[in-house]
Amino acid sequence: MADTSLPLRQRTRRPTPAELDAIPWLKLLDGPLRERALTTLEVGDAEPGERLCRIGRPATLWFGVVDGLLKMNNDDSLGAAVTFTGIPPGGWFGEGTLLKREVYRYNIQALRPSVVAGLPIDSFHALLDGSIAFNRFVLDQLNERLGQFIAARETDRIHDPDVRVARNLAALFHPTLYPGVGNWLRITQQELGYLVGLSRQRVNQALHCLGDAGLIRIEYGGLRVLDLQGLRRFEPAAV
């Protein structure tokens, strides 16, 4: 177990070959730019509840989830806690903050033991300056995340719990933002409840509803999506 008496930044290590293989944008680089990324990338083992980013702190790293599950939320000291999104394996985040060299406007917290990679901000900008393919990757990230947050805003207006679970699940299986997920995600009903803002019991009911509709299958340790488009379009049955 990681020594959480030390900040995560002081517990980083070199990534293993398998961890490097899980970084989707690394294969787009070659030559000196790839070497720079390989030299400066680090990974850390975050424990449940540990925060990677805090509101008001300067952004110094571009983060990605190699394994585990994170959540992005607001500052609950100023009002009700709001979870903006979950971040499963393959997801990279914070590029907008790094581009503007701003402080974080959100918190990022581990929901379970997670392996998180970080690329220093100077290396991030060097890749932007030198690689068209990397620029395209970041542009696609920004575009897809904008669409995701617009959809999340719409979901916030929906009061039907089954629909909320369906839309939030669909977001976690986004193939561009989270290429490490595929069609199966290791997640507990309690973790999904944290992301959706519902009790574990109500999430359980919603998952069985979605399962009966042929959209997902509940499996040991996680969920398998059978129809992603159907999950995105799911509506409650008419009474």
According to the model, what pLDDT value does residue 239 have? 45
CB 24 within 8 A of CB 179: yes
Same domain, 140 and 190: no
Domain span holding position 52: 8-151
Stretch 169-188: mean pLDDT = 92
Classify residue 122: in a domain, yes or no. yes
Q: What is the DSSP letter of 236?
A: P
Same domain, 20 and 135: yes
| Residue 37: band (very low, low, confident or very high) from pLDDT cuts 50, 70, 90 | very high
Classify residue 184: in a domain, yes or no. yes
Question: Domain of 205: which CATH number?
Answer: 1.10.10.10
According to the model, what pLDDT value does residue 76 have? 63
Same domain, 145 and 190: no
Same domain, 71 and 187: no
pTM for the whole thing?
A: 0.86
Four-CA torsion 202, 199, 82, 106, nearest 10 degrees:
-110
According to the model, what pLDDT value does residue 237 have? 66
Same domain, 94 and 14: yes
Domain boundary among 96, 119, 151: 151
Same domain, 113 and 88: yes
| Residue 178: band (very low, low, confident or very high) from pLDDT cuts 50, 70, 90 | very high
Same domain, 125 and 46: yes
Domain boundary among 151, 171, 201: 151
Average model confidence (pLDDT) across the chain: 89
- Summarised one tens digit per residue, pLDDT across range 193-202 is 988 889 999 9
Residue type, 220: Y
- The DSSP annotation for 13-73 comes to BPPPHHHHHT-TTGGG--HHHHHHHHHH-EEEEEPTT-EEE-TTSBP-EEEEEEES-EEEE
Domain boundary among 151, 183, 209: 151
**Tokens in use for 171?**
């977001």
Q: What is the DSSP letter of 237?
A: P
Classify residue 128: in a domain, yes or no. yes
Same domain, 187 and 166: yes
Same domain, 116 and 39: yes
- Summarised one tens digit per residue, pLDDT across range 68-119 is 999 998 866 566 667 788 899 999 999 999 999 999 988 999 999 999 999 9
Same domain, 179 and 198: yes
* Calpha distance 42→150 (Å, rounded): 32
Same domain, 196 and 215: yes
Same domain, 20 and 90: yes
